[in-house]
Structure 1
Amino acid sequence: MSPYKAVETEDKSSDVVWHLASVSHEERVKSHGHRPAVLWFTGLSGSGKSTVANAVDKMLHDLGCKTYLLDGDNVRHGLNGDLGFSDQDRVENIRRIGEVSKLFADAGLLVSTAFISPFTVDRELVRGQLQAGQFIEVFIDTPVEICEQRDPKGLYKKARAGEIKNFTGIDSAYELPLQPEVHVKTAEHSIEACAKQVVDYLKSHGYLKAVSS
């Protein structure tokens, strides 16, 4: 469980009000021809989150969907460049991504996010910020032994050597999703098959009705 509560805005000025846009959420959704959602890919480092999320994004784009992909490493180059990897910073990392994802969903897009997001409470916080049905948890379930064998960035090797602290799966906990909407096993299936599993979920649950014919 995350040891930190979600960051709350304190002392909001009474001068800060919500600006109502002329184009409504419903109008944006209608113009895209599909329902918006946040595909929240979660799993250990090396599990295949980014690879599967990227494949899903490409499949959806090819179907004519309006999409965007938020990747953990990419976001840390800018928006979250000031954060480290302590438990507290991981919580703030996910809080910010949750807020950005909510904006994309409000714009009517299908946004994929690839983040370890190790704590259940933080993933559920993001779910709670979105409209019903907009948060789709995609558990990239890959055994840590397989992730460590892959080790594409050499991070597990550094963590085992004590060069990296608070590394998820080694000396920092990862809380398994108990009821993910989509349960993907990259050690058993190809990337294409894993991506298709996610897209098939969207099709079967009516998200792509206007674009999948």
Structure 2
Amino acid sequence: MNGHRSVILWFTGLSGAGKSTIAHAVEAQLHQQGCRTYVLDGDNIRHGLSKDLGFEDADRKENIRRIAEVAKLMLDAGSITLTAFISPFRLERELARRAVADGDFIEIYCKCDLRVCEQRDVKGLYQKARLGEIAHFTGISSPYESPETPEIVIDTNQMSIEECSAHILNHLKIMGILPPCAI
């Protein structure tokens, strides 16, 4: 009915890697083509559904579980759901993947060097974390487990937002999520 498959696009990477920026760029292009889309990110999840959670490991795991459940509901409703979260632990990303049918979860690794993420940090969060002012900060005082076999890798050190978006959209066509004539 929508002219496209519903799917979960799961953007993961360090803070400052470009997850939300690229997810919104991809979403805008998909929406322009008539696709039903929605972006889930820290702005709309952490201020509502997960406002009761902190950033310790147990809370991060619960946050990802909640996001996966919402994304699954949106998948069932026929949307292309783009989630943009650090989601630092492989196990939680794998649990999110296993919650849906094969092919309905596409992990997109926004690969970016820590030093570049720190340079992009306009809020100064990395500096505060290095000074011990922020506990449990991914990449500094809390681990980030890079994906081992993501469907898509975008190197945000080297690629522009436009190049990242085009790369993702091309993969969606190749994977049969979008019709070949789309985008």
Structures share a fold, TM > 0.5? yes
Partner of 1:124: 94
Unaligned regions of 5+ residues in structure 2, if any? none
**Residues 45, 147 of structure 1: 8 Å contact kept:** yes
Partner of 1:168: 138
Alignment of 1:147-158 (within 5 A): 147-158=117-128
Kindly tell me: are residues 66 and 191 of structure 1, through their superposed partners in 2, closer, same or farther at Cα, counting changes over 3 Å? Answer: same
Distance 1:132 1:63 in 2: 25
Structure 2 counterpart SS, 1:138: strand
What amino acid does structure 2 have at the position aligned with 1:137? E
1:66 corresponds to 2:39 = no
Structure 1 position 33, deviation (Å): 1.3
Distance 1:77 1:87 in 2: 19
Structure 1 counterpart SS, 2:49: coil
What amino acid does structure 2 have at the position aligned with 1:45? S
**Residues 36, 80 of structure 2: 8 Å contact kept:** yes
**Residues 47, 147 of structure 1: 8 Å contact kept:** yes
Alignment of 1:95-114 (within 5 A): 95-114=65-84
1:139 corresponds to 2:109 = yes
What amino acid does structure 1 have at the position aligned with 2:87? S
Structure 1 position 152, deviation (Å): 2.4
Query: Which one of the candidate residues 39, 47, 50 is aligned to 1:77?
Result: 47
Partner of 1:94: 64
Partner of 1:115: 85
1:50 corresponds to 2:20 = yes
Structure 1 position 210, deviation (Å): 7.4
Partner of 1:183: 153
**Residues 34, 211 of structure 1: 8 Å contact kept:** no
Normalising by structure 2, report the TM-score: 0.97
What amino acid does structure 2 have at the position aligned with 1:176? S
Structure 1 position 153, deviation (Å): 2.0
Distance 1:140 1:165 in 2: 23
Structure 1 position 211, deviation (Å): 6.4
RMSD over equivalenced CA pairs, Å: 1.1
Corresponding residue pairs, total: 183
Deviation string for 1:54-75 (max 9, x for gaps)?
A: 0010011111110000012321
Partner of 2:169: 199
Considering only CA atoms, is the larger Rg found in Structure 1 or Structure 2? 1
**Residues 33, 211 of structure 1: 8 Å contact kept:** no
User: Which stretch shifts more, 203-212 or 110-119?
Assistant: 203-212
Distance 2:23 2:162 in 1: 11
Query: Which one of the candidate residues 171, 179, 183 is aligned to 1:209?
Result: 179
Structure 1 position 200, deviation (Å): 0.7
Distance 1:109 1:201 in 2: 17
